[in-house]
Every structure is written in structure tokens, then in C-alpha cells.
């Protein structure tokens, strides 16, 4: 294990009675990474996060935080370097964001000073607001949860489905906060989701988990090279467009309503000009995530 390894998991298993949830999980996360844990609901994501944050013990196997085994008496010192949101964000809905933050400082034995104010500002919440958290939107509650997880200045964040249920604007806000934490504060992040397309915009590494097993670990660049980007094109003259695509040596398929899906990278301006000159005016172009999701689905069926 290198000096930069934040988390190392070795042959980890977790059983609930006779039901095995985690099956010989092996995973290693290096300092500075944003590591995505991707899997369907029930795949074992939350259980794995509960184990590595000390909420539950493994049935078999082991894990280390910064080289300290979870069985070592010094593991609690390392756990103080970890911030986490597991399952629901635990908030007091009848209190303000400020009061929720101050209670977290008290419960963790940290001195608040004015750091709570800086953290609320960092996640885009007004530290002086008198609004009760129960009246917050889901996105605001998730941002407050992240601020609370930052109490104690952790080096490692473990976030369970923080974008689940958010609208597109809320997802963008959370993504920008996490990227800022990673780049400006050098915080390593493990984030789970069942939405591969959204995680792919954020992470540096991805681990796919299915039925309690890690079935593939891959870097973002490796993932990009494994699936083919695609775009859907609508035209006034499909036959003429097909001739152009053949001349440009592009891969494509004809779908429903004569929508043409073009695979791979190509010069969009060149295509539009050639189509216009061939009486095949392009009326609509949109990126499609079909191939990325197909890669995920094919993987978990393997």
C-alpha cells in the first residue's frame, strides 16, 4: 500500500444472518481521487459505506484508513479525518442551519468559532437565515448535510447517494461543491449513486458493484475509451444524410421515426454544411447517453 492510499479494503464481507450482502470486496482509494461507487439499488453500496465509516463491523475481511487497520486501537483517530453522509441526512428540521451546525460541533467535540459560518457560505447557504430546515428544499438540505460532514476539517468524505432525488439544478450545485472541495481543499471523496451518467461528470475513478461484488474498477479516462459517444440526428432527407455519413466513414444506425444515431467523434460543422449542400437539412441534434448506460447494463449482466 502506498503512502498516498486513503482507504484499502481487502476481501471484505458482510452478512446479515444467513444473507450475505458484501462478497469479497477489494478496493483501494488514493489521495485526491473522487471515487464513484456505482450500482443498482440493493447492490451493497450503503452497506459498504456503513462498514468503512465504523457504523458496522465486517463479518470477514479487513479495511485500513491511512494504513491503520480497523481493528487497531488508533482507528478512531483516523476516523476523525472522515466526514460522511450515510443514507438520510440527519437534520433537526425545527432548527435553523446555524443551530444544526452548532449541534454538530458540540456532538463531535469540535470548537465552532466562526468556522460554521464559513462552511455554510461555502455550500451556498445563508448563515444568518432564520428559516427552519424543515422548510428547505431537498437540494438545500443536501448542501447543509455536506456542510455538516465538513465539521472537523475531514480529509476524506464518504457520501451515500447525495444527488438522489435532486432536480437538474440541484445536481449541478452538488457537483460544483464536490469539485471545489476536491480541488481547493484537496479532500478525497467516495460517492455512491445508481446514476452513472451524472457520476461520470464528476469522478476520477469508478467501481461498479453488483450483488455485493465489485465487478470492475476503472478510471474515468478508461471508461471514456470503452464506450462510444453518440448523437441523435433528425434530417429532412435521411437517404441523402446516409450517403454523406458513408462518405465521411462514420458509424450510424437508423432508429424509430428515421432518427439517425451517429457513433463516435466527428466534425459537426462539416456534417451540417455537407447536409445542407445535399438537400438534407439537419433539424435537430442531441447527445445520447444510451451507449454509456448500455455499457453499465452489459457489465452487470456479465
Query: Each residue of 112-156: pLDDT tens digit?
Result: 788 999 999 999 999 999 999 999 999 999 999 999 999 999 999
pLDDT of residue 201: 84
Average pLDDT over residues 82-92: 88
264 versus 246: which is more confidently predicted? Answer: 246
Rounded CA-CA distance 209/184 in Å is 29
Average pLDDT over residues 20-48: 95
pLDDT of residue 115: 92
Q: Is the pLDDT of residue 251 over 70?
A: yes
Rounded CA-CA distance 19/239 in Å is 56
Give, for 156, the enclosing helix (H) or strand (E): strand 156-160
Residue at grid coordinates 442551519? 97
Q: Is the pLDDT of residue 249 over 80?
A: yes
pLDDT of residue 58: 97
Average pLDDT over residues 74-102: 92
pLDDT of residue 197: 77
pLDDT of residue 228: 67
Average pLDDT over the chain reads 90
pLDDT of residue 217: 92
59 versus 256: which is more confidently predicted? Answer: 59
Average pLDDT over residues 2-6: 85
Average pLDDT over residues 184-198: 89
Q: Is the pLDDT of residue 243 over 60?
A: yes
For 276-292, how does the pLDDT look when each residue is reduced to its tens digit (9 = 90+)?
899 888 999 887 755 56
Strands 188-193, 34-38: pairing is parallel
207 versus 194: which is more confidently predicted? Answer: 207
Contact indicator for 26, 11 with CB cutoff of 8 Å: yes
Cα 226 to Cα 112, 155, 293, 296, distances in angstroms? 47, 31, 12, 11
Amino acid at each position: 500500500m502506498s503512502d498516498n492510499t486513503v482507504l484499502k479494503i481487502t476481501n471484505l464481507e458482510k452478512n446479515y444472518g444467513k444473507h450475505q450482502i458484501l462478497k469479497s470486496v477489494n478496493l483501494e482509494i488514493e489521495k485526491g481521487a473522487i471515487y464513484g461507487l456505482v450500482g443498482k439499488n440493493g447492490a451493497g453500496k450503503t452497506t459498504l459505506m456503513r462498514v468503512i465509516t465504523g457504523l458496522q463491523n465486517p463479518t470477514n475481511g479487513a479495511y485500513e484508513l491511512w494504513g491503520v487497520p480497523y481493528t487497531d486501537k488508533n482507528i478512531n483517530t483516523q476516523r476523525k479525518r472522515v466526514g460522511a453522509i450515510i443514507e438520510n441526512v440527519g437534520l433537526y428540521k425545527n432548527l435553523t442551519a446555524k443551530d444544526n451546525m452548532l449541534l454538530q460541533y458540540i456532538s463531535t467535540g469540535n470548537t465552532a468559532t466562526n468556522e460554521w459560518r464559513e462552511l455554510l457560505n461555502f455550500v451556498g447557504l445563508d448563515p444568518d437565515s432564520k428559516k427552519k430546515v424543515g422548510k428547505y428544499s431537498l437540494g438545500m438540505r443536501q448542501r447543509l448535510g455536506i456542510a455538516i460532514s465538513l465539521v472537523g476539517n475531514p480529509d476524506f468524505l464518504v457520501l451515500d447517494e447525495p444527488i438522489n432525488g435532486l432536480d437538474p439544478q440541484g445536481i449541478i450545485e452538488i457537483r460544483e461543491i464536490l469539485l471545489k472541495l476536491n480541488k481547493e481543499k484537496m479532500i478525497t471523496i467516495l460517492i455512491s449513486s445508481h446514476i452513472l451518467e451524472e457520476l461520470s461528470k464528476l469522478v476520477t475513478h469508478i467501481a461498479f458493484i453488483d450483488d455485493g461484488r465489485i465487478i470492475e474498477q476503472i478510471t474515468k479516462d478508461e471508461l471514456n475509451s470503452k464506450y462510444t459517444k453518440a448523437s441523435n440526428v433528425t434530417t429532412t432527407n435521411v437517404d441523402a444524410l446516409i450517403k454523406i455519413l458513408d462518405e465521411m466513414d462514420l458509424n450510424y444506425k437508423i432508429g424509430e421515426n428515421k432518427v439517425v444515431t451517429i457513433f463516435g467523434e466527428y466534425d459537426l460543422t462539416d456534417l451540417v454544411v455537407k447536409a445542407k449542400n445535399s438537400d438534407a437539412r439537419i433539424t435537430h441534434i442531441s447527445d445520447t447517453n444510451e451507449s454509456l448506460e448500455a455499457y453499465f447494463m452489459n457489465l452487470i449482466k456479465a
